[in-house]
Amino acid sequence: MDRHLDQCCAFSGQVCRWIVNAGHNVSDLASDFVTLWAIRRGRRAPSPEFPWGHGRAETLGTFTVSGMLLGGAALFAFHSGGQLAELIPTTNTAVHLPGWMPHHHHHVSGIPLDGWALALAAAGWSVKEALYLATAHLGKKLNSQVLMSNAWHHRSDAWGSAVALAGIGGAMAGFPVADPIGGIIVSTMIARVGWHMAVSSARDLCDASVDETVRESLKQAAHDALVDSYYSSSLRISSVRARQSGPYILAEINVSATRAPTDGDARLPLHVVEVIREKVRAVPHVRDVVVVFKP
């Protein structure tokens, strides 16, 4: 009876591993498709239907990929927890202390199978880390959060290979628990990255303001425009509003008069508006600038 129960548990554990691996492969494929769609859509020019552009498509893509990261972390933790549970001694299992387990080597062409496994895990880590570095470099260059989130998806794969590497090494040294413990640690790290990206993209979807440093850069650029157009004594920058739209920043510059306006001061001179727009657009990633005059 105990033997049949152990066989059933082993089969169930193998099925769980198949499900985890299948889910992870589907997640990788879906992440690449979402990233490709988001970049192609988000870089389209503004249209009458979307006058502010399509940048939010990238934000939506980032939110989706971050959800995949969180789901992958949950599957990773579930898989590692199952492995750890299988290694916990029961009343019917012989206990080896202090954790050293008997280990037998199998050979292929004179090389232990453990050696092949270590080499494959190391190669997998190298390839996936290289994918992360290449994708992250492109993401930073294009200021694309969806590319950065997909890069972290590649890095989560690299961390998974690193855990496999540590697990194989641990098993060779007689510490099989190294694999599931490392998996739980890595799944926590992946979940943290995924949660940070999900919160950041959700804020952008809810029109949260850009960082204070970015707003100060926009305000300084607008003030420099007033100085260059010789209006700094009669006009001032009263406030700046800006929000993120994918890789782009949409800014609103509010200008007010420093003294009581006369009939001729009811409107902001057109050349001043153009200078402000030109200066503010020089700030990195700014796509559109609206200048509002409040006498």
CATH at 74: 1.20.1510.10
| 107 and 182 fall within a common domain | yes
CA gyration radius for the chain?
Answer: 28
pLDDT in tens, 127-136: 888 888 998 9
Identify the pLDDT of residue 23. 54
Which structural domain, as residue segments, surrounds residue 181?
Answer: 2-205
Q: How far apart (Å, rounded) are the C-alpha atoms in residues 60 and 38?
A: 8
Question: Are 225 and 168 members of one domain?
Answer: no
**Identity (one letter) of the amino acid at 34?**
V
128: tokens are 């996936």
CB 65 within 8 A of CB 254: no
Q: Evaluate whether 44 touches 54 at the Cβ level (below 8 Å).
A: yes
3-state secondary structure (DSSP) of residue 286: strand
Number of domains in the chain: 2
Q: Name the residue among 152, 148, 183, 187 with its Cα closest to residue 166.
A: 183
Report the alpha-carbon distance of residue 239 to residue 219 in Å, rounded.
8
Listed as own residue / partner, the contacts of 199-206 with beta carbons closer than 8 Å and 24 or more positions apart are 200/62, 200/145, 201/59, 201/60, 201/62, 201/63, 201/66, 201/145, 202/63, 204/56, 204/59, 204/243, 204/244, 204/245, 205/56, 205/59, 205/60, 205/63
Same domain, 199 and 222: no
Give 24's contacts (C-beta < 8 A, 6+ positions apart). Answer: 72, 75, 76, 160
**What is the structure's pLDDT at 113?**
46
Same domain, 199 and 244: no
For the chain, give the longest Cα–Cα distance: 98
The residue among 205, 238, 271 that closes a domain is 205
Kind and range of the H or E element at 254?
Answer: strand 248-257
**pLDDT computed for residue 243 by the predictor:** 94
Tell me the H-state helices in 174-245. 178-205, 212-228
Domain boundary among 164, 182, 205: 205
Residues 42 and 148 in one domain: yes
* Residue numbers in the chain where pLDDT is lower than 50: 1-18, 91-113
Do 78 and 221 belong together in one domain?
no
Model confidence over 241-273: pLDDT tens digits?
A: 999 998 899 999 999 888 765 655 567 888 899
237 plus 97 within the same structural domain: no
User: 227 and 188: one domain?
Assistant: no
CATH of the domain at 216: 3.30.70.1350
157 plus 172 within the same structural domain: yes
The answer to whether the Cα torsion of 28, 33, 38, 43 is positive or negative is positive
Encoded amino acid at 40, one letter:
R
**Contact 201/66 with Cβ under 8 angstroms?**
yes
| pLDDT at 1 (0 to 100) | 44
- DSSP reduced 3-state for 51: coil
What pLDDT, on the 0 to 100 scale, is given for residue 116?
Answer: 67
Residue 218 near residue 286 (C-beta atoms within 8 A): yes
Q: Comparing C-alpha atoms, which of 227, 206, 282, 295 is closest to residue 251?
A: 282
- Kindly state whether residues 244 and 166 are assigned to the same domain: no
Angstrom distance (rounded) from CA 69 to CA 152: 8
Distance of CA 47 to the CA centre of its chain: 28
Domain ends where: 205, 239, 262?
205
pLDDT for position 290? 93
